[in-house]
Structure 1
Amino acid sequence: MLNETYRRMLANKSVIRETAAYGHQRAAQIGYENVFDYSLGNPSVPCPPAFTAAMQDLLAHEDPVSLHGYCPNQGDPGFRMAAAAHLKAHFGLPYEQKHIFPTTGAAGAIAHALRAVTAPGDEVLTFAPYFPEYGPYVAGTGAALKVVPAQPPVFQPNLEAFEAMLTPRVTAVLINTPNNPTGVVYSAQTLVQMAQILTQKSQAYGHVIYLVSDEPYRDIVFDGKTVPYPASFYPHTLTCFSFSKSLSLPGERLGYVAVAPGCEGADVLVDMMVQISRFTGHNCPPSIIQKAAARCLEVTSDLSVYQTNMDILYDALKNLGFAVERPGGTFYIFPRALEADANAFCRKAREFDLLLVPSDTFGVQGYVRLAYCIETEKVRRSLPALERLAAAYQ
């Protein structure tokens, strides 16, 4: 007998993935260079040479039995120590090895973090617009995802609505900064106020409300700014990180959960996640990738190309009359569509071989997301298509 939960999910496939699949089909017809695919957030720059060198050195000089053998269920000790030292040096919190749990990317990190601090029947809050896979991640815990309404056009979290929705059933809040799909970086003022609200509500309800912070874009930030680190503002924070963007390693699926040292349960949460792995069949990311990444925590890929692409697109969109906020980070930009129905707008864009993602999939209406992690020359070549799209609405 088939599991009806997953059968029903077949009717709700990812709009992002379907758009990318259409792009591949269209490219086969007219050539890849003629399809301006802004659908998928797949990094377009290579990993840093240091990572390649680390992999080559490990393969050349490490004992293969040891290198490719099982690592402890908590993850490779060297990677965990290196990640803790990196976080301590950069953010000033006293992380130790016991606070780090390696995962299969940020998705695995979020899934483990949520399962560790929720129970069936609980509620998890997140802010619109949000990454659509949060729905399945939360549903898998037996909790319910509740979405705080968006606050356009700046898209900082709507803290007034957030406070009203923080009922005793809420055990975790899931945030994403820098944000996918908007590119917004949550301000220090936002995080201070959010921490105050969480502290007050935790005391009032007699249980800690955990903050799960999804941070795969932490190293992609523009205009010389820095990203405020949520765990520095609220002690009960589980930070979920991925090397998919900072080291351009999306296919390697390496990330981690970092349990803030002041977090309630800090001494047991990583061991709890080991038990969650047993339950879900997660069983650690590949050992060699952990070992190589441990040598590369102080480097990133050349991420400057994303600011270059953003500047080109932002200026073009503004000049064409789009209402759009300048992103603070990530490789996404989130302009308002030129008609109320974002899905119809994206269908119109396909007539010009522009592949955009409608905002409905992110819990907001009337906007579109462009993932500009493509070659800069292709961004420039897409501008005439954007001009023709805008002209169709004049």
Structure 2
Amino acid sequence: MLVQKYRSMLSGKSVIRELSEFATARGQEIGYENVFDYSLGNPSVPVPRGFTEEMIRLLEGEGSNELHGYSPSLGITAVREAIAASLEERFGLPYRKEHIFMASGAAGALAHAFRLVTEPGDAVLTFAPYFPEYMPYVNLTGAELKVVPPDTESFQIHFGKLEEMLTENVAAVLINTPNNPSGVVYSAETLRRLADLLGQKSREYGHRIYLISDEPYREIVFKGVDAPCVSAFYDDTIMCYSFSKSLSIPGERIGYVAVNPNCAEAETMVNMCGQISRGIGHNCPPSIIQLAVSKVLDETADLGVYETNMEILYRELAALGFTCVKPGGTFYIFPKALEEDAREFCRKALAYDLILVPGDTFGAPGYFRMAYCIDTEKVERSLEALRRFVKETYR
């Protein structure tokens, strides 16, 4: 018999993916250049030349087994050493290879982190607006994701609601900064207050409450915005990182878990990740990609286009009367819709070939997300469609 919980998920497919598929189909009718597709967070800038050159060097200069064979279960030792050294240099924490586990992107890293610190029946808290895939990521482990309502004034943490929900059965708190979908970066004040509260509640309840930090957008931070290292504020932090956005290589599925060196049993936790892999069929990301990223840890793709696109959209949305917290990073912006029902708002926008994602799926009804990881020229052309949509539908 087929498993019912997965069968039932067929009726709740990703809204983001459905809209992306709609945009692709519409593009076949009118030309994709005429569809203003703000649905999917797929990086739009080329990979850095250094990554391409390293891939070529590896393919031409290394043996087949080194490039295409299995790596050790925790990842290639030299790669883990390079990542640890980079983290120590950047953030001042004494990372060593024993604190690093190579994973298949941030999603793979999160899959291990949840299984490290939760048992079935435990609660994991996260903050709206949040990446909707967190729900199956957590709930299919047997733990339960609970969502703290948003502070819509700033999209920083709503501490009043957090304190109400931070009960004894909470095993971990999951944060995402810079944030998808809001683009907001948590401030040092927010992180310090969160760390103090988690430490206090850990002592009160007699067990650690872990902080799981999902950081795929860590390198996409705009001018003048401070993006503090989350792990520097709280010892019991598990960092989950992906190179997908920084290097524009989401299809390569490469990232890592980095357990704070000051966390009790940090090395044991990393070794446990190797055992978790046995249960979820992880079995290491590709060796060649591990080797390639280890040589470009200080490089990124040309990420400046995302700030350019953000500024164009932010100015236009403000001029049209939208309420919007200005993003500090990522390639997302999250305005308030011009009617209470954001799903209906986004449905109406389709008539103008504007593909927008309603905020309901992110736990923030009444808002919508625009993923502006598209060419700047197309962003600029979309403004006329946005103006006509607002004028003809709401003015």
The alignment's TM-score, normalised by the length of structure 2, stands at 0.99
Matches within 5 A, 1:1-394: 1-391=1-391, 392-394=393-395
Which SS does the other structure have where 1:239 is aligned?
Answer: strand
**Paired residue type of 1:50:** G
| Secondary structure, counterpart of 1:261 in structure 2 | coil
User: What's the offset of the Cα at 1:267?
Assistant: 1.9
Are the counterparts in 1 of residues 66 and 287 from structure 2 also a CA contact under 8 Å? no
Counterpart of 1:353, as a letter, is: D
Q: 1:208·1:264 contact (CA, 8 Å) conserved in 2? A: no
- Read off the aligned partner of 1:94 and give its amino acid letter: P
2:221 is matched by which residue type in structure 1?
V
Kept after mapping to 2: 8 A contact 1:236/1:260 = yes
Contact persistence 2:131–2:181 (CA under 8 A): yes
Q: Matches of 2:350 and 2:264 in 1, distance apart?
A: 49
AA matched with 1:327: P
**One-letter amino acid of the counterpart of residue 161, structure 1:** K
Cα contact 1:242–1:256 (8 A) shared by 2: yes
SS in 2 for 1:212: strand
Looking at structure 1, the residues matched to 72 and 79 of structure 2 have their Cα atoms a distance apart, in angstroms, of: 12
Structure 2 residue identity aligned to 1:365: P
Q: Matches of 2:4 and 2:372 in 1, distance apart?
A: 37
**1:146-185 deviation digits (Å, cap 9, x = unpaired):** 1111110311011121112111100100000000000000
For 1:311, the aligned partner's letter is E
The offset of 1:78, in angstroms, is 1.4
Query: Quick one: distance in 1 between partners of 2:209 and 2:341?
Result: 36
Distance 2:175 2:255 in 1: 17
**What SS does structure 2 have at the residue aligned with 1:325?**
coil
Cα RMSD for the two superposed structures: 0.7
Decide which moves more: 220-229 or 367-376. 220-229
User: How far off is 1:223 after superposition?
Assistant: 1.8
Using the TM superposition, give the Cα deviation of residue 327 of structure 1 relative to its aligned residue in structure 2, in angstroms. 0.3
**Aligned-partner Cα distance in 1 for 2:380–2:288:** 38
Cα distance in structure 2, aligned partners of 1:142 and 1:107: 17
Task: Name whichever of 13-22 and 74-83 sits farther off.
Answer: 74-83
SS at the partner of 2:245?
helix
2:304 partner amino acid: S
Q: For residue 244 of structure 2, what is the amino acid of its counterpart? A: S
Please state how far the C-alpha of 1:264 moved relative to its aligned partner: 2.3
CA offsets 1:307-340 (integer angstroms, 9 cap, x no match): 0000100001011111111100000000100000
Q: CA deviation at 1:65?
A: 2.2
- What letter matches 2:374 in structure 1? I
Letter in 2 for 1:335: P
Counterpart Cα distance in 2 of 1:159 and 1:227: 20
Identity %: 61
Cα deviations by residue, 1:107-142 (Å, 9 ceiling, x for unpaired) = 011110011000001000000110000001111221
- Which residue identity is paired with 2:394? Y
State the shift of 1:291 in Å: 0.1
Structure 1: gaps spanning 5 or more residues: none
Amino acid at match of 1:115: R
Q: What's the CA shift for 1:389?
A: 1.2
| Distance (whole Å) between structure 1 residues aligned to residue 66 and residue 102 of structure 2 | 19
Q: Partner amino acid for 1:377?
A: E
The worse-fitting range, judged by mean Cα deviation, of 331-340 and 139-148 is: 139-148
Q: SS at the partner of 1:171?
A: strand
- 1:206-236 Cα distance to aligned partner (Å, 9 max, x none): 1000000000000001123331111000000
Cα separation, 1, equivalents of 2:250 and 2:88: 25
Once the two structures are superposed, residues 29-54 of structure 1 have per-residue CA deviations (whole angstroms, 9 ceiling, x without a partner) of: 00011000000000000110000000
Cα offset for 1:355?
Answer: 0.1
Preserved contact between residue 106 and residue 240 of structure 2 (Cα < 8 Å): yes
Q: For structure 1, which segment, 359-368 or 259-268, has the greater mean C-alpha deviation from structure 2 after superposition?
A: 259-268
- What number of residue pairs does the alignment pair up? 394
Amino acid at match of 2:101: F
